[in-house]
Amino acid sequence: MHPGEPLTEGRTTSRILIVDDHPMVRDGLRSMLSREPDLDIAGEATHGREAIAQYRALRPDLMLIDLQMPEMDGLQAIAAIRDEFPDAAIIVLTTFLGDARVARAFALGATAYLLKTARSHEIIRAIRNALIGRRTMAADVAEQVAQHMGHEALTERETSILRLVAKGQSNRSIAGVLHLSEDTIKARMKSIMRKLNAGDRTHAAMIALGRGYIDPVQ
């Protein structure tokens, strides 16, 4: 079947909510979707909080959402929307790889995970699959996930520590922020470096950034 053809014969027009803080991305997606006779634009949002409000107001059939946005990121928005609308079909369309980020997106309820480098027909195919409940993961995303399959994951506390490491904070400073002893932070850092196979704390933060445990420092 050609990617421009509906998967379900006789389906009515499906309404799509586009969420991205970059106008050029929204324009490109709007242009792409306008060429599909059974897909329509329900609305647009520029950040996570607006996405939640628009989803409530518009009740679209599917949402395309970026991850890194101001005010509220895509993962937080996905969690909130899926909590209120458990059957929501949501496609992540982002520039960010990272097995931990991908795993979290699917755990929160994303139906598909694509990169913005995806071709139009790949995005359309993922939309059509999501509308009938099929999951999609881009090939390059799946490859990175497979590379780390079976590796011990970082805990939420370890991730919190790494966020502060990435901001240049010392063990003593991190201990103060998290209300833990400095010895506890040192022990946690040893666990983090073992799990990530990192040589030092800076290397650990870089690996965590690449894998999506933490986001770039704003």
> In the sheet where 112-115 sits, what is the strand order?
39-45, 14-19, 62-65, 90-94, 112-115, 136-137
51 in Cβ contact with 19 (< 8 Å): yes
Q: Does the structural domain 14-147 have CATH classification 3.40.50.2300?
A: yes
Domain extents in the chain: 14-147, 156-211
The predicted pLDDT at position 218 comes to 52
Rounded-to-integer distance, Cα 171 and Cα 201, Å: 10
CA–CA dist 193, 65 (Å, integer): 32
Phi, psi for 194 (deg, rounded to 5): -65, -45
Q: Is 35 helix (H, G, I), strand (E, B) or coil?
A: coil
pLDDT recorded at residue 28 = 96
* Correct CATH for 156-211 of 1.10.10.60, 3.40.50.720, 1.10.510.10, 1.10.10.10: 1.10.10.10
Threshold 0.85, pTM exceeds = no
pLDDT of residue 217: 67
Query: H-type helices in 39-197, by residue range?
Result: 48-58, 74-84, 99-108, 120-131, 139-147, 156-166, 171-178, 182-196
State residue 1's pLDDT score: 36
Q: Residue 151: what pLDDT? A: 81
Instruction: Give me the pLDDT at residue 174, please.
Output: 95
pLDDT along the chain (218 residues), means of 10: 42 90 96 95 96 97 94 94 96 91 93 94 96 90 83 90 93 95 95 93 91 79
- Predicted confidence at residue 76, as pLDDT, reads 94
